Chains A and B, each alone.
Chain A
Amino acid sequence: MPATDMTITDQEREHPTQQAASEVTADTAVDTAIAYRSPTSQQVKHVSARISLRAKLLEIWHSRELMSFLVRTEVKVKYKNSILGFLWSMLNPAMTIAVYFIVFKIIVRSTVPRFVIYLFAGVLVWNLFSSAVTSATSSLVSNSGLVKKVSFPREVLPISEVGTACVFFSFQAIVLAIVLAAFGYAPAWNYMWLLIPAFLALIVFTAALAVLLSSINVYLRDTHHLLEIVLIAWFWGVPIVYPYSSAMGALSRHGLGFLYLMDPVAPVVVTFQRAIYAIVSYIPPGSTTRVFTLPTGGQMWFLKLDLGVLAGSIALFLISLIIFGRIEGNFAEEL
């Protein structure tokens, strides 16, 4: 199937039309009854085959306003007509945390101190990732009306789902900050700045998956269901509920430690925990051996890890855009 595309050809911009159009205006200016309007934009839009990645990125960049409207709509509509409204977006992580706390702290008797904070830091990151990817995957299908009838860069749909997830992420982050303040809990201030590269890496990775999976889901509706299952397993592959060091220890014994951090979400989660939870190691009561919860690396170790994820994610994002561009020509027919 030949993929076809729309590009804005830049060379057309300095086409002599600008001049021609203004001549028309000058001519008709004499006849004041007709205010002849020259096209507001002299860009020539080109609907045909193939696309340059640059044009695609530019298109997305120019759709910022649209994305912000889509995010606002989504946020407004999501909890409309529900009594608790926004509170629902808090109740979901609250419940997750409560369940794991009960299971691991009370039933399994984990010795990790301040377990709630540990959980919260990880769940915060995981929720952003999983909710964004889940809703983005079905975004093209659930907005098929738009895709079939309105012309706009379609990448905007999955990407704005990531934006929506970020909005809920920030609400949850505020709650986390309040919890920290209420307990007088001291995060690792000197690691705080690492949240920025970590967050960026997470967003880009999430957006890359969002774009890729949403387009595949148009052709294979299984994608959505498959994703839900994969996410369940993935959750346990990331040190959210159990400490990083225990999984790392087990894997390292088989020389597989590097694999653990190959998962792009894990480094982000670990960075968040390092900055927010900050307890790298502790001595369990009634024991003399020190137990490690978090990687012992310094700031640079974390930074390298996050920048690595960021670089990989940017590459994946570009690849996703290319794949999306190749198959989007048929979206309007397939839906």
Chain B
Amino acid sequence: MDKNNSIEVHDLSKRFKLYHEKATSLKEKVVNFRRSVFEEFWALKDIDFYVEQGETVGIVGRNGSGKSTLLKCVAGILRPTSGEVLLRGQISSLLELGAGFQPELSGRDNVYLNASLLGIPVKEVTKRFDEIVAFAELEHFIDNQVKFYSSGMYVRLGFAVAINVQPDILIVDEVLAVGDETFQAKCLDKIREMQRNGTTILFVSHSPDLTKKVCSRAVVLQEGNMVFIGEAKDAIDSYHDIIIEQKLLDAESSRNTSGEDKMITIESVSLKSPTGQTVDRIDSGSSAEIAVQYGAGSGLDDCVFIVEIQNDSGTIVFSSNTDSLEYYPTIKQGTGVINFTIDTLPLAGGVYMANAAIRKRGTSNDYDRFDRACTFKIIAPGNNLGIVETPVHVKLESLNNTVSI
């Protein structure tokens, strides 16, 4: 093991057996002995990377791509089918907060129990007990039975234990998503503090922003394969490419357009470049056109066309409609396209989705609505965090002359 590395993963593969109907009793096992009813499934294939001491590496990928499985293999909960993991130092994992909690016991007893499950000696816990409780903000509740805790309190205590015992390696699986905003911010601060202190962190989050913020490097997993490893922003970029290529976010397939006979339906929504081609990626700040194709069963003159753009966390970052543009289209029977031309789209780099809806004027009823009708990627040079990307100028101004010495 290289002396600078905290974690080394060598050619790690993990195979699961997927049982159709799992036999857990003797009779079933005997009856099903010959025709074994499972399929093999490789959740991880030849994963190979290292994490240097003090480094924070993120893991991104779609649901089911093997992120949690990888973390569990590293944490020693699952044994790899082949390959190995080398770890240096005390490891603490935040895979599921409060997993070891015993609801009948008090918070105090649970702190000790949970810490000793993580392999932390009692005297260490005693030393840090107040710190742990203070971090969880549970001073008044620490002697209450854990079963009376709110789910947020539960999670906070679990987080506080795992993080305040000074592990050398911390494994975090999407746990920052729980807890209220202030607590999330506090956790992030704590993670930063640990990073400064040289803790090695392996981090899974579904938020590209958070991954970019926290990690220096990241691994992209796709169906158990490591398809990318490199700087966090490049990794997120590559992850977004996967999403776009597979049109994973498009709702097309799941949309049920038949069935009830609508007066007007949205047939498709597409993003067009200024030259009129359908595209799935555009540069931030350039102009774009959203084309909504509809099919009308009869003539209508009370239609309001709405388009929205939402980012990957579901926030609507842009919305417009024909009424607010003071455009009142008259729809004839048949199909047609309505184009929204956006002069500049100053969005931060990332994956976005366009929604479209046709509303009956003066009501809140939609004739039809098509969410996530098309997915596209905005390419921004800076790869900054945030929602908008807009030209910025920066200048240094020295104020020395005003300072009297």
- What is A's interface to B at a CB cutoff of 8 Å? 2-6, 12, 15-17, 20, 34-49, 62-63, 65-66, 69-70, 72-73, 76-77, 80-81, 145-146, 148-152, 219-222, 328-330, 332-333
A interface: dominant SS: mixed
* Neighbour of B117 across the interface among A36, A38, A39, A152, CB < 8 A: A152
Q: How far is the CB of A70 from chain B (nearest CB, A)?
A: 8
CB–CB A221/B25 < 8 A: yes
Q: Tell me which residues across on chain B come within 8 A of A2, comparing CB atoms.
A: 81-82
Please judge, given known A-B contacts A44-B87, A146-B99, whether A35 and B197 are in contact too, CB under 8 Å: yes
Q: Are A44 and B24 in contact (CB under 8 A)?
A: no
B100 at the interface (CB under 8 A from A): yes
Whether A12 pairs with B117 at a CB distance below 8 angstroms is no
List residues of chain A with CB within 8 A of the CB of B199: 37
Q: Which of the residues B105, B121, B196 comes within 8 Å of A73, measured between beta carbons?
A: B105
Q: Which of B88-96, B204-212, B374-382 lies at the binding interface?
A: B88-96
The answer to whether A47 touches B100 (Cβ under 8 A) is no
B221 → chain A closest CB, angstroms? 18
Task: Kindly provide the distance from the CB of B65 to the nearest chain A CB, expressed in whole angstroms.
Answer: 18
Q: Does B249 contact A (CB under 8 A)?
A: no
| Contact sample, A vs B, 30 pairs, CB 8 Å cutoff | A15-B3, A17-B88, A20-B4, A37-B197, A39-B168, A41-B89, A43-B89, A44-B87, A44-B88, A45-B76, A45-B87, A45-B88, A47-B79, A69-B112, A69-B116, A73-B102, A73-B109, A145-B99, A146-B99, A148-B77, A149-B100, A150-B100, A150-B118, A151-B77, A152-B117, A220-B26, A221-B24, A222-B25, A222-B26, A328-B79
CB closest residue in chain B, given A25? B198
Q: Which of B41-92 contact A (CB under 8 A)?
A: 53-54, 72-91
- A69→B78 contact, CB < 8 A: no
- For the complex, what is the distance from the CA of A81 to the CA of B104, rounded to whole Å? 9
Contacting residues, chain B, for A66 (C-beta < 8 A): 116-117, 119
CA distance A328 to B278 in the complex (A): 54
Known: A146-B99, A333-B16, A333-B17. A47 touches B3 (CB 8 A): no
Taken together as a complex, chains A and B put the C-alpha atoms of A31 and B93 apart, in Å, by 30
User: Using a Cβ cutoff of 8 Å, how many contacts connect chains A and B?
Assistant: 146
Across the A-B interface, the 10 shortest Cβ-Cβ residue pairs: A39-B89, A48-B84, A329-B79, A4-B79, A149-B99, A39-B168, A47-B85, A151-B76, A222-B26, A45-B87
CA distance A36 to B25 in the complex (A): 53
Binding site for A on B (CB under 8 A): 1, 3-4, 6, 16-17, 24-27, 29, 53-54, 72-91, 93, 95-96, 99-100, 102, 104-105, 109, 112-113, 116-119, 121-122, 166, 168, 196-199
B346 to chain A, nearest CB (A): 38
B72 surroundings in chain A (CB, below 8 A): 332
Complex CA distance for A2 and B83, rounded to whole angstroms: 12
Q: Are B80 and A4 in contact (CB under 8 A)?
A: yes
Shortest distance in angstroms between B111's beta carbon and chain A's nearest beta carbon?
A: 11
Q: Which of A37, A46, A80: most chain B Cβ within 10 A?
A: A37
For the complex formed, measure the closest distance between the CB of B9 and the CB atoms of chain A, giving whole angstroms.
9
Return A40 CB to nearest CB of chain B, in Å: 5
Closest B residue to A2 by CB, please name it.
Answer: B81
Q: What CA separation (Å) do A65 and B117 show in the bound complex?
A: 9
* Chain B min CB distance to A213 (Å): 14
Report whether B86 and A46 are in contact in the complex, using a CB–CB cutoff of 8 Å. yes
A156–B380 Cα distance when bound, in Å, is 53
Complex interface: chain B residues within 8 A of A76 (CB): 104-105, 109
When distances are taken between beta carbons in the complex, the residues of chain B under 8 Å from A43 are: 88-89
Closest A residue to B145 using CB positions: A80
The answer to whether A39 and B119 touch (CB under 8 A), given A44-B1, A220-B29, A333-B17, is: no
A250 to chain B, nearest CB (A): 34
**A37 lies within 8 A of B198 (CB):** yes
Contact of A42 among B4, B54, B89, B198 (CB under 8 A): B89
Could you say which of B84, B95, B119 has the most chain A C-beta atoms within 10 Å of its C-beta?
Answer: B119
Given known pairs A41-B90, A42-B89, the reply for A47 and B84 (CB within 8 Å) is: yes
B396 to chain A, nearest CB (A): 24
Taking a contact as CB atoms under 8 Å apart, the answer to whether A17 and B168 are in contact is: no
From B1, B3, B93, B109, give the contact of A151 (CB < 8 A): B93
Q: Answer whether A47 and B74 are a contact pair too, CB < 8 Å, given A39-B6, A220-B29.
A: yes
> What 9 new A-B contacts, CB under 8 Å, besides A47-B74, A47-B86, A330-B79?
A3-B79, A5-B79, A37-B197, A48-B83, A76-B109, A149-B96, A150-B77, A222-B26, A332-B78
- Please give me the residue from chain A that is nearest to B43 by CB atom: A333
Question: B143 to chain A: closest CB distance in Å?
Answer: 14
Q: Check if A39 sits within 8 Å of B53, measured CB to CB.
A: yes
Q: Which residues of A contact B121 (CB under 8 A)?
A: 65
Q: Is the CB of A34 within 8 A of B196?
A: yes
Contact B87 A220, beta carbon cutoff 8 Å: no
CA A44 – CA B79 in complex, angstroms?
17
B9's nearest neighbour on chain A, judged by CB, is A47
C-alpha spacing A123/B99, complex, angstroms:
37
B104–A47 CB distance below 8 A:
no
In the complex, are the beta carbons of B80 and A48 less than 8 A apart? yes
Q: B116 near A65 (CB under 8 angstroms)? A: yes
Greatest chain B CB density within 10 A among A42, A73, A145 is at A73
